[in-house]
Amino acid sequence: MDTSFSDAPTPLYRQLCDRVSALIHSGALRKGDKLASVREMARQQGMAQSTVLQAYRALEDRRLIEARPRSGYFVAVSAPAASKVARRAPALAVPAITTPPADSRSVDVSRLVEQVMSAAVDERFISFGAACPTDDLFPPERLRKAMSRALQQHADSLSHYPFAPGIRPLREVIARRALGMGCTLDPERILITNGCLESISLCLRAVTQPGDVVAIESPAYFGLLQIMESLGLRALEIPTHPRTGLSVPALQLALDTQPVKAVLLVPTLSNPLGSVMPLGARRELARLAREHDLPIIEDALYNDLCPRAEGRRAIKSFDTTGHVLLCSSYSKTVAPGLRLGWVEAGRWSSEVQRLKSTLSGGHTELLEWAMTELLDQVQHEPALRQLRATVAERMAQARASSSPTASRQAPA
Ligand SMILES: Cc1ncc(COP(=O)(O)O)c(C=O)c1O
């Protein structure tokens, strides 16, 4: 086989992708055939493993091959079906998996974020910069009642200092609700925070030192990058697919070659891609964490908004060794203004709680009482279902208005 690709203008991974694709179309590679492992193919072709991985992911995007956990890559279609796939033009092409640099980099985003944030409040622009829910998603009467009941019943909480980890009834209701993510959490280990970002910041402090490398999705939410910048951490971007999220094989490769100290990711409805990691990949990540003794910081902020129950299940639900630090908040689902989040930091729980006490003390108990009431109300579950349906409807509208047909029909 000719392996001299270097003079051609097409990128190496595309060349490999086209070759394998041609073999599938010709029937030389048949449905169910196993492809050479990434390592083996890299050796055969004289390419970097990351290039082979990129080619395999591109073939997955074309639905020509599929990855099976711990078994490798297999041809997913027969030759006639492959030709059919090639003829079917998608309404709006799914962007390809991202191809970030292979090395870690220091993070320097705060100036850019400042510009984006000031543009976000400028009325001349439509803000795509932050995932801020609109006011109408949260019925004010429910919030007002919960706040006034908290004030009536717990005004005395204003006259003393609140202490971490937060009031026990709220930690209990959070533990009960975590069953919806497939997790059995001990309320004793849950810590109340000022929002998901504070939870993540505490976890990063607990598991890293300045200069450490943290693997993140590519692209990642700018708020996470800002925290990393403030802590002097280096970002190792892992290729991320817009549908299935962070590539676990690419992460595995990174763990073999780079000094990764932690992984930080948003497995459900990642910001900005909106990807949802399949269950198999979540299970694999928990296994990697265990085998590499690696902390995984899971941002589960959007889990409750995912329309599919499978997408609401947390990586934490597969964690048997306390390597997953689960962070979330109610900023997107109950009341953004209460700034109320939480974290269950597994084997780093005591350290995270100590950091919280040192850095910012406890949260405001009155707000914790109001949140306990909101989460415990019988209306909470129907309200959440309604919110999911509204968000899904808005997404469908956004999709329809950005499809090629819609833009062709728009008045000139
Ligand atoms: C992925 C992700 N994590 C965390 C946050 C911030 O969460 P909180 O407001 O609870 O701090 C956001 C906000 O947009 C987000 O998109």
286, 278, 73, 3 alpha-carbon torsion, rounded to 10°: -100
Domain co-membership, 146 together with 78: no
Q: According to the model, what pLDDT value does residue 85 have? A: 58
Distances 26 to 31, 67, 80, 83 between C-alpha atoms, Å: 12, 21, 9, 10
250, 256, 259, 260 alpha-carbon torsion, rounded to 10°: 40
Distances 305 to 73, 140, 289, 338, 384 between C-alpha atoms, Å: 32, 20, 26, 18, 8
Domain co-membership, 177 together with 290: yes
Asked if residue 402 belongs to a domain, the reply is no
Domain co-membership, 309 together with 173: yes
Domain co-membership, 199 together with 302: yes
Residue 45, domain CATH: 1.10.10.10
Structural Rg of the chain based on CA atoms: 23
Is there an atom of ligand 1 within 6 Å of 58 CB? Answer: no
Asked if residue 26 belongs to a domain, the reply is yes
Peptide bond preceding 140 in cis form (omega within 30 of 0)? no
Contacts for 56-60: CB closer than 8 Å, 24+ residues apart: 56/249, 57/96, 57/97, 57/239, 57/241, 57/247, 57/250, 58/13, 58/14, 58/17, 58/96, 58/97, 59/17, 59/20, 59/21, 60/241
Is there an atom of ligand 1 within 6 Å of 301 CB? Answer: yes
Is there an atom of ligand 1 within 6 Å of 120 CB? Answer: no
Q: Are 299 and 196 in contact (CB under 8 A)?
A: yes
Q: According to the model, what pLDDT value does residue 168 have? A: 97
Q: According to the model, what pLDDT value does residue 87 have? A: 58
Q: pLDDT digits over 74-89, tens only?
A: 999 887 777 665 555 4
Domain co-membership, 151 together with 219: yes
Question: How buried is 407 (Cβ within 10 angstroms: 0-12 exposed, 13-18 middle, 19+ buried)?
Answer: exposed
- The number of folded domains in the chain is 2
Distance between start and end Cα atoms, the chain: 53
Asked if residue 152 belongs to a domain, the reply is yes
Q: How far is the CA of 238 from the centre of ligand 1 (A)?
A: 20
Domain co-membership, 69 together with 198: no
Q: Give the separation between CA 246 and CA 349, rounded to whole angstroms.
A: 26
Q: How far is the CA of 78 from the centre of ligand 1 (A)?
A: 43
Per-residue pLDDT of the chain (412 residues; tens, 9 = 90+): 333 333 345 678 888 888 888 888 878 888 998 999 988 888 888 888 888 888 888 788 777 888 887 888 999 988 777 766 555 545 677 889 999 999 999 999 988 888 888 887 788 887 776 788 888 888 889 999 999 999 999 999 999 888 889 999 999 999 999 999 999 999 999 999 999 999 999 999 999 999 999 999 999 999 999 999 999 999 999 999 999 999 999 999 999 999 999 999 999 999 999 999 999 999 999 999 999 999 999 999 999 999 888 999 999 999 999 999 999 999 999 999 899 999 999 999 999 999 999 999 988 999 999 999 999 988 899 899 889 888 888 887 777 776 555 444 433 3
Is there an atom of ligand 1 within 6 Å of 275 CB? Answer: no
Distances 198 to 140, 194, 205, 244 between C-alpha atoms, Å: 26, 6, 11, 26
With a pLDDT cut of 90, the percent of the chain lying above it is 58
Q: According to the model, what pLDDT value does residue 403 have? A: 57
Q: Give the separation between CA 57 and CA 240, rounded to whole angstroms.
A: 10
For tokens 């990351």, name the residue: 50
Q: pLDDT digits over 3-31, tens only?
A: 333 334 567 888 888 888 888 887 888 89
Domain co-membership, 77 together with 226: no
Is there an atom of ligand 1 within 6 Å of 341 CB? Answer: yes
Q: How far is the CA of 99 from the centre of ligand 1 (A)?
A: 24
> Can you give the three-state secondary structure of 54-117, one letter per residue?
HHHHHHHHCCCEEEECCCEEEECCCHHHHHHHHHCCCCCCCCCCCCCCCCCEECCCHHHHHHHH
Domain co-membership, 178 together with 303: yes
Q: According to the model, what pLDDT value does residue 103 have? A: 94
| CA-proximal residue: ligand 1, atom 14 (nearest) | 131
Q: Give the separation between CA 75 and CA 65, rounded to whole angstroms.
A: 4
Q: Are 191 and 354 in contact (CB under 8 A)?
A: no
Is there an atom of ligand 1 within 6 Å of 216 CB? Answer: no
Full residue range of the structural domain in which residue 49 is found = 12-87
Is there an atom of ligand 1 within 6 Å of 223 CB? Answer: yes
**Sign of torsion over alpha carbons 79, 65, 87, 13:** negative
